[in-house]
Structures are given as structure tokens and as C-alpha cells.
Chain A
Amino acid sequence: MAISFEQIEQHLKTEALKLLESGKVILVLAYGRGYDANHPMPYVAKHPSDVDNIVFNEYCTANLARYLTRYPRRTKIAIAVKAADSRAVVQLIQEDKVCREDLVVLGIPVYGMKNFKTGEVIDSKTTGGLYNPVLYDILLGEEVHGQPVSSPYDVLAAYEAMDKEERWAFWQRELGRCIRCYACRKACPMCYCDPCFIDQNKPKWGEKSPESPGNLMYHLTRFHHLAGRCIDCGECSRACPVDIPLYLFHKKVAKDCEEMFGQAAGMSIGDKPVLVNFRVDDSDKILE
């Protein structure tokens, strides 16, 4: 079964129109036309007349959950989510950053999404191995079944083959290229701290200049702040203007976390965030 992007777009428009006209939500987080068809952008529809501007195609990779924390509580929001994005919504609910009651989740079952900068299909890389949203109120289309399912951790093979020294050298080299534009944290739905630790002056946690010590401080801390929280949408890596493969580290931590605690981030709103939840039988592997 091939995905019909036009059909999803049509469903999205219909549902958005219904929700806005009935006053159930005051805004719909969706995708709109960018400067050309291959470059759509996140779009906020506030009036029924805005609905015409909504689009959906294979380049609508942005994770709209990133914008949820921008609106005050009790703002009724409808949000369009793909599989990984829905996990971000779940994780934000778990962390009590957004209320389930405030949201109407429009789930998009989809595969074959493409990075608009490179045209590369992102399925095997950063969708968490899922094609169907884990949480939705309205599903825009039919659930995807029968697509080859790859483990989200398959892409780690080459990385895991490296030993400790090689990994250290790898990250020093990759993070050394960082220009500190902070697009990774700004694109990340789980990076909502205000202020971010790296922007603090008292105490000062890391240097501002784009050199190795400060870069390592920023990225390694961010990686660990996202331990057990990263939902593998890949937005950080796609946002990076110099193509640093940040997703490798996030995936590795997610894999360790899943192996140790038996829970992946943002899979069910009944879960507690894995590093918040203490259980007597928790793995002690991290101390070994």
C-alpha cells in the first residue's frame, strides 16, 4: 500500500476545519506551504479560512510537538503528529509540560518521509522504527501494516563497532565542527528549559565560543539531559547546518536505557519518565 500524501492532506484539512469551526480548539499545528513545494513549513491555522493553506507531503518532517510548550496551559490545540512526533507528545504529557485534555492529536500514519535538504528517505534512520502514531484522537488515514519494520537501533552498528578511544575521537571530531547555532536544541521537542544551562552565566557551565571544550560541554550535557527522553524524531540532526550525526549518540543512550529499564521514551501516557521512576529492581549496570 502506497502512502497517498494528498489523501492525508485532505483529511488534515477536513479535520482542522471541523475543529476550528466548532471552536473545540483555537489553533491547529500543521504544515503549510513554504517557498516551494519541496520546502513546507510548520503552520499555525487559527481561523477556518487558514485551513486552505495546510499542506502535507513527504517533506513535512518537522516535529510540531516542539511548539506545544510555547502556548500557555489550557490553550486548546490540535496537533498533527507522525509516529515519532506522537511519542514527543506522550513524553511531554508524562513530564507534565502539556495537558492531555488540552490536546486533540491528529495522527498521521506514514512512511517514506524525506529530508528536504538531502532528499534522503529517513525511515530507517530516525522514525523509531514506527509508522503509526502511538497516541491519537483522530487518525488521518489507515494504519500502516506490512511495511518492513527495522529496529531503530540498526543504524548504530558501525558506531557500536568502535571502541572507547575511537568513539571519543569520533565525537571530538564531529562536535569540533559545531558552530553553536543551537538549532539542535531549538528543534528538539524535549529541550524546553528556560534558560538552557549553556546560556547561564552564574554559574557558567560552558564556554560560548565554538571550540572543543565548550562544544563538548554543551553537546554531552544535552545528550545526557535527553537520556530516557529522546523520542528519536531526528530533528536535531536534520536541523544541523553542518550535518553532525547527533542522532547516533541519542540512539545509543536510548538503547542503553531501554535495555536497562525496559522502557522506551514516550510510548504510553501511563508510564513515568524512566529516569524519574525508581524501582527496587532497577538495573545497576550503569554503576558497573
Chain B
Amino acid sequence: MLKKTTIDKLPELAACLMEKGTLVAPVKEAGGFNFRAITDAAQVDLIFHNTILSPKTVFFPQTEDFVRYSVYQPILEAKPVEPEIRPTFLFGVRPCDVKSFEIMDIHFTRTGVPDPYWRKRRDATIIFGFAFDTSEEADPAEFYHTLGIGAADPDGSDVFMLRRDDVLFLKAVSPRGENLLGGLAGLTDAAPDERKYFDDYIAQGHDYKTRYTCVDAEAIAKEFEAIFHNTDFWTKVSNACLSCGICTFVCPTCYCFDICDETQFGQGVRRRVWDACMFTDFTLEASGHNPRTQVYQRLRQKICHKYSFHIRKYGPISCVGCGRCTRYCPVNIDIFSIVEQAVQAKWYKRM
């Protein structure tokens, strides 16, 4: 079922979705685009490349309150915070970011203790994937092609969207998407030649080249294991690193958090807040010992976690090549280049 609407009718589509639940879509802000809950249907803007923060913010917000409590009172005064979950439409997610949800599901729902916050939000959300514009040049930071992701992969989306000039095509990918699209007013059926255009576009998504290097999960895991103790290599690639948290905060597959008790004027809240392995105090132990005091140790941890430990433990590479870490790095450290160097590490070892 391929439906279509026009870009100037986007506010109508948005209004329709807002009636059914919360609409979360890219909104232009001071520094660029970000996914935000839409309050005014005219806010939805699909002329963007990608957002600053990844859409993980929708399922895993930077701050999540667990328990509210009062001090100077028995502990029983503490009350769990029930997350407010409404049917949500996550609109305009790029294919590489859609892929990241699958990786994050491993950590939040498929291993260890399932995270009810992530799972409830994920279950309540319908994902509208959105193909990259293949007529545009790829952003120099991106490399999703390396991870085997196309510019127009509908996998993982419930509804997949594609823009052709002033027309927006919407195709149901999952049964949930099918149900939803069937009930949306204002959409018209696409003509057969448009259906062909849509199918061709998706098929050609893999021909769209972002930066590419041949990466086999098993082989790359082995390479990084082999150079783990090569301090020269890690010092060299981390010399410029400032050890700030940008790369992990904008990353769609970084999931580390800290549990904080924040009390003000007798009222407190226990919450989780994003943390970053690039911060000095991330591994600081209560004893005062810190196993990762050096910048190179922290950068090595971040990269090896994504391209080595994660593969060993869970199978897939924990990176989707969206390029955000590279794009927003204040000193242009590029994870792709580091991986590329590790792939070529054989020459490095001979040196």
C-alpha cells in the first residue's frame, strides 16, 4: 500500500497524527534540528539532513525520573514516578537511526533486566522512517554504507517515507503501519508509476555511497583485540581528544547512564541521567581508584566497545555510521578513520 500527500499538506498530516497521540518530529532550533514533541502542526519540517541528537532521546531521554521522595521523613514517603506513556508517532527517522533502535533493544529489552521505560515507550511508538535524499551529496562525516545500511532501507520502520520534490510518499512496512495508514484521512493512493519510482528508489539506496571501508564484524573485533595494548596507536589517535561528552551524547547507540539523587529544599528525585565513558569520573571508584585516567584509555574504551566488545558479547557492531560523533566533535576526531586504521593495522604492527 503506497500512499502519498504533498509537502504543503504536511501540517494536515501532522494534525491528524497529533489527534491520535504525541507526534515527535524534527524541529529547527538554534543549533540545528532535533526531535521534539510537536505542539503546533506547522512546526514539522522535513527539509533537514539529520538531527543533532539522535532519536534515542524519545525512548531514552537524557533525564528520566524514577522515584520522588521527601527528606526528613520515613523512606516510605518515596513514590515511584510512573512514566506518562501515550501513543507516539516518531516522524522522519533516517534509516541508519532506525537501525540503531534494533541495537539498543538488545541492551534495554533482550539482555539482563528488561527496562520497562524503554520497552513501554518503544511499544507505544510507531516509527516513520524517512529516506535520505540521494540526489544530494552525502555528508562527509557519514559512513552508514560501511555498516551495510542503505540510504533508503525501510527495515525497522512501521511506515517508510520518501520525498520526491513536493510529494511525500508513505508506505506501510509493518502491520501496525498498515493499520495506521489505512485510517489516515487526507492521503491518496499512489499511481503505478509512482509505486515503481518508490521501489526503484529503495533498491538503489545501497548504490548511494557514503564513506566505505570493508568491515567484517568478526575480523574487526579481532583487529581491535590485537591492538588493544598498542599504546602508541591509541595515543596517536587520541592526542587531539578533549575528552568531552559530545560523541556519546549525540550517538544513537550509546546507552550509559548514571543514577543521581537530586534533592532541593527537602524534595528529592532519583533519576537516571546520560553519562559518558569519555568523562574522567565515569570510572572513578569509591575507593578513589580510577582505572581509566588517561584520555587514550577512554577513547579506546569507546571505540573498542562499539567495534569489538559489543561484537563478542552480542553479535552486531554497535555503530550505524550516522556520523554524528564525527560531525559534532570539536576537534574532528573521526571514528571511521580510526576503524580504517585498525583494519589496516597489519601494516601498523609491522612498523
Question: Which A positions have Cβ atoms within 8 angstroms of B?
Answer: 34-36, 38-44, 62, 66-67, 70, 116, 177, 179-183, 185-187, 194-195, 199, 207-211, 213, 235, 238-244
Q: Are B332 and A34 in contact (CB under 8 A)?
A: yes
List 7 additional A-B contacts (Cβ < 8 Å) besides A41-B333, A180-B245.
Answer: A44-B239, A44-B240, A179-B53, A179-B249, A186-B242, A208-B260, A209-B271
Min CB distance A4 to B, Å, is 23
A-B contact count (CB 8 A): 108
B258 within 8 A of partner (CB)? yes
Distance in angstroms between the alpha carbons of A44 and B62 in the assembled complex: 35
> Could you jot down 7 A-B contacts, CB within 8 Å?
A34-B332, A43-B239, A66-B242, A181-B249, A208-B258, A210-B62, A239-B244
Which single member of A183, A211, A238 contacts B63 (CB below 8 Å)?
A211
Q: State the Cβ distance, B233 to closest chain A Cβ, in Å.
A: 14
**In whole angstroms, what is the CA distance A70 to B238 when docked?**
13
- Looking at A62, A195, A208, A238, which has the most chain B CB atoms within 10 Å of its CB? A208
Q: A41-B240, A186-B244, A211-B63 are in contact. Are A35 and B141 (CB under 8 A)?
A: yes
Q: How many residues of B contact A (CB 8 A)?
A: 39
Check if B62 sits within 8 Å of A116, measured CB to CB. no
Give the segment of B40-48, B153-161, B272-280 that binds chain A. B272-280
Closest to B323 in A: A35
CB distance from A177 to the nearest CB of B (A): 7
In the assembly, what is the distance between CA of A34 and CA of B332, in Å?
A: 6
- Which chain A residue shows the least CB distance to B269? A209
The 7 closest A-B pairs by CB, nearest first: A243-B31, A239-B330, A183-B244, A34-B332, A181-B245, A186-B242, A42-B240
Majority SS of interface residues in chain A? loop
Judging by beta carbons under 8 Å apart, are A35 and B273 in contact?
no
CA distance A182 to B214 in the complex (A): 34
Complex: chain A residue closest to B232, CB-CB: A46
Report the bound CA distance from A36 to B138 in whole Å.
Answer: 13
A195 and B281 form a contact (CB under 8 A): yes
Closest to B276 in A: A181
CA A238 – CA B332 in complex, angstroms?
12
Q: With A42-B240, A44-B239, A199-B280 in contact, do A209 and B63 touch (Cβ < 8 Å)?
A: yes
B-chain residues with CB within 8 Å of residue A240 when the two chains form the complex: 31
Q: Hey, which chain B residues are within 8 Å of A241, CB to CB? A: 31, 52, 246, 249-250, 328
Known: A35-B140, A209-B271. A177 touches B242 (CB 8 A): no
Q: Does B30 lie within 8 Å of A243, measured CB to CB?
A: yes
Q: Given the complex, which residues of B lie within 8 Å of A244, measured CB to CB? A: 30-31
For A235, list chain B residues within 8 Å (CB).
Answer: 330
Q: Give the distance to chain A from B238, nearest Cβ to Cβ, in Å.
A: 10
Min CB distance, A84 to chain B, in Å?
16
Q: Mark B123-166, 1 if CB is under 8 A from A, else 0.
A: 00000000000000000110000000000000000000000000
B283 at the interface (CB under 8 A from A): no
Q: A181-B276, A182-B245, A186-B244 are in contact. Are A209 and B281 (CB under 8 A)?
A: no
Q: Which of A36, A187, A209, A210 contacts B330 (CB 8 A)?
A: A187
